[in-house]
Amino acid sequence: MSDPFAIEPYLRSTSARVEAGLTAVVESRRGVAPARLVDAMKYALLGGGKRLRPALVLASCEAHGGDVSDPSLAMRFALAMECIHTYSLVHDDLPAMDDDDLRRGRPTVHVAFDQATAVLVGDGLQSLAFAHLLAAPEPGPGELARLLADNALLMVEGQQRDIEAEHRPLGEAEVLTLMRTKTGALLAASIAGGARCAGAAAAAVYPVGLKLGLAFQIADDLLDLTADTATLGKRAGKDAAAGKATLPSLLGEQAARARAEALLAEALTALSPLGPRAAALRALARHLIDRKK
């Protein structure tokens, strides 16, 4: 039986806090950096989005008994994580990569501004993420920065695997490796980093996050097949049309959905010892595969 937790109000509240923090982070460059670059970074960061990774950071920290207030290390890590995630989206959307013109229901950054600015936006957000995290006054940001850097690198490696997969078929083991790196790594780092902010061992929590990351990617691939563009806020069916390597394309929709449910069940079992304080994290885990966009 699922937790009686109101996930949508929780996500709205978390998103509002995260967006206020992101605004402050990017506006800290106003008057220092070129105005067009600041405007483009702000456009990228504040263009909507589910804010799932920051929510996972905060929910994991709370589940492990940590501080999730706005001045906390957990919030600082959550903002850095969203900066890294957003940089990856800006670069993925470029014509040289996935060539997307729509993101979060709006023109992508290279369409709204230009390609060169979009490249610099991604570069700037990556640097801003680490500058903000490492400016934390409390102990521990160095370990979190290493966790973030290691998994951002895995994400980049996963993107290269995805590009190479357009030219040759992948087996199931290769698709799972692609998923673990391109998408799973940052989601796992979100949950592990949140736990670390509460004093828990990141390495002990990371495998749970990775299971959820894989389930999330399977759900995303299924949405690409079943949802429409207006609901998704990005072009529906584009991955399938491009012949992207996914579990649904290999196993079929029903088997892929069953795999996502099995991964979720394993993660929820691992989280059960945390008790009532992990209600938000458990509800978020369920939301990762039940979401409609």
Percent of the chain with pLDDT over 90: 85
- Whole-angstrom Cα distance, residue 244 to residue 232? 18
Which string of DSSP letters, residue by residue, matches 48-91? ----HHHHHHHHHHHHTT---STTSHHHHHHHHHHHHHHHHHHH
Geometric angle at alpha carbon 236, from 231 and 238, rounded to 5°: 160
Mean pLDDT (the chain, rounded): 93
Segment among 4-18, 86-100, 223-237 with least mean pLDDT: 223-237
Q: Which domains does the chain have, with CATH numbers?
A: 7-290 (1.10.600.10)
User: Which stretches within the chain are classed as H helix?
Assistant: 7-27, 35-45, 52-63, 73-92, 109-112, 115-134, 141-164, 172-179, 185-197, 202-226, 229-232, 238-241, 247-251, 253-271, 279-290
User: CB-based burial of residue 246 (10 Å sphere; 0-12 exposed, 13-18 middle, 19+ buried)?
Assistant: buried
- pLDDT at residue number 1: 43
Residue linked to tokens 């992207």:
244
pLDDT, tens digit, for every residue of 40-90? 999 999 988 889 999 999 999 999 999 999 999 999 999 999 999 999 999
Compute the chain's Rg from CA coordinates: 18
Residue 149, CA atoms < 13 Å, CB-side half-sphere: 12
Mean pLDDT for the stretch of residues 163-171? 89
- Whole-angstrom Cα distance, residue 16 to residue 220? 24
- pLDDT at residue number 3: 47
Contacts of 150 (CB under 8 A, 6+ apart): 189
pTM: 0.93
